[in-house]
Amino acid sequence: MTERDLVIVGGGPAGIAAAIAAHENGVRDILLLERDQYLGGILNQCIHTGFGLGYFKENLTGPEYAGRFIEKLHSLKGIEISLSSFVVNLTSDKTLTYLKPGMLSTIRAKVLIMATGCREKTREMVHIAGDRPAGVFSAGLAQKLINIEGLLPGNEVVIVGSGDIGLIMARRFLLEGAEVKAVIEIQKESRGLIRNVVQCVKDFGIPLYFRHKIAKIRGKDRVEGVDIVKVDDALNEIPGSGSKISCDTILMSVGLIPENELVEMAGVKDVNKIFGREACRAIFKVAKLWKIEN
């Protein structure tokens, strides 16, 4: 079995940054595995600006920002990039099996960095009742359909939750000529950045309902509307406060969860705690260990 000094799973911003940083610190045998057909991860579909303000002191789009790092990555010797490469098994001794078109390989990593990102919570995870028609999308899927595939998911949109992707997609749909009927948020305030609330929703006069939730999705084949209802501070429905909004599209922007299945497969406990800032701390610890070991 081949052994590699460093294997990084995930070629999004975190994985690319990890590869570059490892190289800068002298590692010369690096394998970067990316399951998609291109590097850059979710940045590719984030065509809005606001990236690179801190790092490059420039206002870049997601693909531009990713592009600079990808270019740098390609210029470094000793980093093998393997696209369309999907890890199907991971054991506790850091042995990975991955599939790519035409081959299945098993390798061992001396050091392994998991940068597998996250996925969006779905309608099913928050248990919204009603029909199950076409036209219910995660905000990220809608973003991919519009920005990468050039497809418009729908014409009359209701957004559930006020996460950043949902807020950004409100503006995006509007600019594509669709009508955004409402953003529905169960909490008292938005869970997104203030600049997104202002620039993506308020500036365009999109109604933002706090302390509301979707009681029911309606529509036999395609979404026809939603029933919304007010909730109290304990998030219980307030009787008699229901109303209906007609729409053909529903976007879910109700939070992200880490893609930890591989780490779990390797037997790591409590993986759900590894996310966001905690993940950065964990990576930092790994990096320190790396220096000590080498």
Partner 1 sequence: MKTYDVVIIGAGVVGAAIGRELSQYKLNIAILEKDQEHGFGVSKSNSGIIHPGTQNPPNSLKGRLCVQGNVLIRKISHELGVDFKETGELIVAFSREEIPRLLGLKKEAEQLGVPWLSIVDKTWLRKNEPNLSKEAVAALYAPTAGIISPYRLVYDLCENAVRNGVEIHTANPVKNILKTDRYFEINMPNDTFRSRYVINSAGLFADEISRMVGVNNFQITPRKGEEFILDKKREHITNHLLFPLPQKDTKGVLVIKTADGNPMIGPTAEDINDKNDLSTSDNGLAKVLTAAKKMIPSISESDIIAYFAGLRPVAGEDFIIRHEDKAAGFINVAGIQSPGLTAAPAIALLVRGLLGENGLTLKRKLLFHKHRKEITHLFSIPFSITQKLVKKDPSYGDIVCRCEMISHKEIRDAISRGAKTLDGIKFRTRAQAGRCHGSFCTTRLMKILAQERKLPLTRVTKRGAGSEIVKKDRLDD
102 binds partner 1, rule: CB under 8 A? yes
Using alpha carbons, select from 110, 108, 97 the residue that is nearest to residue 1: 108
Phi (first) and psi of residue 103, to 5 degrees: -155, 155
Q: CA angle, corner 20, sides to 14 and 25, nearest 5? A: 120
The partner residues of 8 in beta bridges, in order of sequence, read 32, 113
Q: How far is residue 49 from each of residues 59, 155, 186, 188, measured CA to CA in Å?
A: 6, 24, 28, 28
260 binds partner 1, rule: CB under 8 A? no
Nearer to partner 1, 125 or 289 (CB): 125
101 binds partner 1, rule: CB under 8 A? yes
Rg for the chain, CA atoms, rounded: 21
Q: How far is the CB of 48 from partner 1 (least distance, A)?
A: 18
* Helix boundaries (H) for 176-214: 194-196
11 binds partner 1, rule: CB under 8 A? no
Q: How far is residue 46 from each of residues 11, 191, 261, measured CA to CA in Å?
A: 16, 19, 25
CA dist 251 and 243 (Å) reads 19
Nearer to partner 1, 84 or 199 (CB): 84
Q: Of these, 153, 161, 166, 192, which contacts partner 1 (CB under 8 A)? A: 153
* Count of residues touching partner 1 (by CB under 8 A): 49
Q: How far is the CB of 155 from partner 1 (least distance, A)?
A: 6
Identity of residue 175: L
Phi (first) and psi of residue 76, to 5 degrees: -90, 135
152 binds partner 1, rule: CB under 8 A? yes
Secondary structure of 62-105 in HEC code, one letter for each residue? HHHHHHHHHHHHHHCCCEEEECCCEEEEECCCCEEEEEECCEEE
84 binds partner 1, rule: CB under 8 A? yes
Q: How far is the CB of 281 from partner 1 (least distance, A)?
A: 26
40 binds partner 1, rule: CB under 8 A? no
**Three-class SS state of 76:** coil
Q: How far is the CB of 244 from partner 1 (least distance, A)?
A: 15
Stretch that binds partner 1, among 65-73, 160-168, 216-224, 275-283 (CB under 8 A): 216-224
Sites for partner 1 among residues 108-147 (CB under 8 A): 119-120, 122-125, 127, 129-135, 137-138, 140-141, 144-145
Nearer to partner 1, 39 or 111 (CB): 39
88 binds partner 1, rule: CB under 8 A? yes
Q: Are strands 30-33 and 2-9 parallel, antiparallel or unpaired?
A: parallel
Q: CA angle, corner 253, sides to 247 and 256, nearest 5? A: 155
Nearer to partner 1, 20 or 99 (CB): 99
Nearer to partner 1, 15 or 60 (CB): 15
Q: Which residues here bind partner 1, judged by CB under 8 A?
A: 35, 84, 86, 88-89, 97, 99-104, 106, 119-120, 122-125, 127, 129-135, 137-138, 140-141, 144-145, 148-155, 215-216, 218, 220-222, 248, 261
